[in-house]
Amino acid sequence: MSDIIYTKVDEAPELASASFLPIIQKFAAAAGVTVGTRDISLAGRILAAFPENLSEDQRQSDDLAELGRLVKTPEANVIKLPNISASVPQLVAAIKELQAKGYALPDYPEAPQSEAEKDVRARYDAIKGSAVNPVLREGNSDRRAAKAVKSFAQKNPHRMGEWTADSKTHVSSMSGNDFVSNEKSATLSRDAVARIVLETDTGETVLKEGIAFPVGTVVDATFMSVAALKEFLAAEIEKTKSQGILFSMHLKATMMKVSDPILFGHGVRAFLAPVFEAHGDTLADLGVNPNSGLGDLFARVEGHDDILAAIEACMADRPPMYMVDSDKGITNLHVSSDVIIDASMPALIRAGGKGWGPDGKEADANCVIPDNSYAPVYDETIRFFKENGKLNPATAGTVQNIGLMAQKAEEYGSHPTTFEIPAAGTVRMILDDGTILHEHVVEAGDIWRSASTRKAPIEDWVNLAIFRQKAEGCSAIFWLDETRAHDAELIAYVRPILEAQGVADRFSIMAPREATRASLEIITAGDNTIAITGNVLRDYLTDLFPILELATSAKMLSIVKLMNGGGLFETGAGGSAPKHVQQLAAQNHLRWDSLGEFCALGESLVFLADARGNEKARVLGATVEEATQGILDNDRSPSRKVGEPDNRDSHYWFARYWAEALAAQTADAGLAEHFAPVAEALAANEVKILAELAAVQGPAADLGGYYRTDAAKTDAVMRPSETLNGIVG
């Protein structure tokens, strides 16, 4: 096993790896450090799931399972780049691409009938959504802006949209019968095995069984009423029309892979309600599934002029819709994975509450977030900026985050305990001694789900928060609502630990709305704070605040202290990665910024030095920080425009600054001597290398695929400078 594992992923981060990884391996080798790769890409995971369908040379090892075992050991040192959390449309597209490349994979069964089809569907469903993160995150999250990154953002503040008090932009959520209002929670006093059953007039159906919980686990259950959801959506569409603003719906259909695609489908059906009422039977015959979005619907009704006319008439009578791409006519409801709440809401807020309409102009928007669990965070943020005006990145402090996520903690809908209820009845979670832990009366179509959070991750999370607060010495807030069932159980863990360690006076406990306002007040005043949150809020806040402070969440330092002693170093978000790939394919310009990878690399090398006593690795890690500072201080990050420096240029500069720092340091004479000629060669060939990199921009780039690119073609595109290749190997 290599000393450091660098993950093979998807889209822009993986393309950037083709340029950056050879540099890492060349420099690390000088310290006796090996850097290997493991494939956790969407395509790789698909191939690993169907070995019997493939020839020997096509088969893919199950690298995710291997890494899942590794992260439970003290030896783990993994640099994890952002991977695709696949929606169904993305999964289907990847399957079709692989089939076209000669891989005899089965189609994705939309409505499996036979046992064989059900098996295929189950294997594919295991790949959907947040399939990677729960496996690798055997520790809790420590996410913050690196000092160099925060300093650069303050010295070079990004543009913020203007907020005005009369903005009509607002958040709308259900007033009841949603997930948060129906939530029940309990902490188990013993080890237990549970089953989930649906009892109806016709008998009992087992939805899930054999769910093992260790003592101390917090177990939740809740449901959303589909009748209440439909009523809410219909009212919001009419309200939005009367207000003359954009209608937008913000969900997490990638990671909440069961619940949120269903919510999305209800949004599609509600917006086109007259069409479904008039043509429902035909749409069903055509295989239309609202959960797949308007894009799929339009493709299926092509040639049916009566339905297309009905859609056009309906859209004309509806409020204008928030657009993903106004020029191409791609709406908020086209594809469930196009509008992901943790990216879409911060972008809208950063823009002064404006979204793009069908006319290509910016307008205020109704941000529809059906479940009220965390909608108050965005609602309060919008209220704050209406009252106080936009945030000033030049003077703003920072919000760090300590996130509870180890061992699949909390209420992500990707858990295999989320169900669309087939018939009216009562859902019960029953323990092995017959105890009914939770029960809900439900109707057909309601969405019921359960999640759990184990004792050890909770205690580790609180202790990590205590450690980070002591290190930072700043405000620290547990974002927990004592009136919410789940949060009340967590508070019962948090308070005794804080009191036992004598630090209760250093922490506050606030509901998310109040914590949002307090945090915004703190950073507006130029001070720092730590948000200590559960899993979903970790995901939301580590996009919201970095996008406001830094313009992007991709530059965040993300460290996962694995509970068994290893380290997982994440490199930020990849939400805009598809657009980056599109630009590279069209113009051979990759604007992906590898700053997150630079930060993760430095932390990984220092961790390796501590774990293995490799002082050369420590020198490498320290000089990575100097190289990163050089990138920022000298404005060597990628430009967005073709013909200007891109990701490949930034890697040249990083290699040069890193070599120069290694040559100049005095902690290790051997490393200084080794890298002196490398630094000299990189500097002496600057003009030639940059010219070779610039020469390829403009024409289209052939990668040989999207989800599974051709390795040789990708290498040619991402390493076009023969001079640079000759120096770094």
Residue with more model confidence, 6 or 412: 6
Mean pLDDT over 159-175 rounds to 97
Instruction: Kindly report the average pLDDT of the chain as a whole number.
Output: 95
pLDDT of 1 > 90? The answer is no
DSSP string, 495-553: HHHHHHTT-GGG-EEE-HHHHHHHHHHHHHTT--EEEEE-HHHHHHHHHHHHHHHHS-S
Instruction: Judge whether 601 lies within some domain.
Output: yes
Provide the pLDDT for residue 101.
Answer: 97
pLDDT at 411: 64
Confidence of residue 146 (pLDDT cuts 50, 70, 90): confident
Tell me whether residue 303 is in a domain: yes
Contact 124, 91 (CB under 8 A): yes
pLDDT tens by residue, 683-716: 999 999 999 999 999 999 999 999 999 999 999 9
% residues pLDDT > 70 (the chain)? 99
pLDDT value at position 729?
82
If you write DSSP's letter for every residue of 26-73 in order, what string do you get? HHHHTTT--EEEEE-SHHHHHHHH-GGGS-GGG----HHHHHHHHTTS
In a domain, 553, yes or no: no
CA 4 to each of CA 70, 288, 617: distance values in angstroms, whole numbers, following the listed order: 11, 46, 11
- pLDDT computed for residue 384 by the predictor: 98
Last residue within a domain, chosen from 338, 371, 388: 388
Residue 481: pLDDT band (50, 70, 90) is very high
Range of the domain at 63: 1-86+134-138+564-729
Identify whether residues 82 and 229 lie together within a single domain.
Answer: no
- By mean pLDDT, which of 274-278, 406-410, 638-642 is the weakest? 406-410
Is the per-residue pLDDT at 290 higher than 80?
A: yes
| Least-confidence region, from 127-131, 254-258, 499-503, 575-579 | 575-579
The pLDDT score that the predictor gives to residue 412 is 64
* The token pair that represents 287 in the structure block: 């295989």
Number of domains in the chain: 2
Secondary structure, 3-state, 684-729:
HCHHHHHHHHHHCCCCCCCCCCCCCCCHHHHHHHHCCCHHHHHHHC
Q: Is the pLDDT of residue 578 over 90?
A: no
Question: Is residue 375 within 8 Å of residue 366, measured between CB atoms?
Answer: no
Whether the pLDDT of residue 334 is over 70: the answer is yes
| pLDDT confidence of residue 410 | 83
For the residues 706-729, what does the mean pLDDT come to?
Answer: 96
In a domain, 469, yes or no: no
pLDDT tens-digit readout, 432-479: 999 999 999 999 999 999 999 999 999 999 999 999 999 999 999 999
pTM, two decimals, is 0.86
The tens digit of pLDDT for each residue in 656-681 reads 999 999 999 999 999 999 999 999 99
| Cβ neighbourhood burial of 556 (10 Å; 0-12, 13-18, 19+) | buried
Q: Which of 302-316, 547-561, 619-633, 639-653 has the lowest mean pLDDT?
A: 547-561
Domain termination site, one of 350, 371, 388: 388
Q: What pLDDT was estimated at residue 552?
A: 84
Among the residue ranges 88-92, 386-390, 529-533, the one predicted with the least confidence is: 88-92
Query: Tell me, what's the pLDDT at 128?
Result: 85
Q: 293 Cβ partners below 8 Å, 6+ apart?
A: 89, 264, 268, 333, 334, 335, 336, 338
pLDDT of residue 575: 56
Residue 192 lies in a domain: no
Q: How confident is the model at residue 576 (pLDDT cuts 50, 70, 90)?
A: low
Give CB contacts under 8 A, 24+ apart, made by 93-100. 93/706, 93/707, 94/42, 94/43, 94/46, 94/707, 94/708, 95/46, 95/124, 97/43, 97/705, 97/706, 97/707, 97/708, 98/43, 98/46, 98/47, 98/707, 98/708
Q: What is the pLDDT of residue 713?
A: 98
- Which of 129-143, 287-301, 328-342 shows the lowest per-residue confidence on average (mean pLDDT)? 129-143
Boundary residue ending a domain (361, 388, 415): 388
* pLDDT for residue 566 is more than 70: yes
* Contact (CB, 8 A) for 333 and 368: no
Q: Let me know if residue 274 belongs to a domain.
A: yes
pLDDT for 574: 58
> Residue 414 has what pLDDT?
61
Residue 194 lies in a domain: no
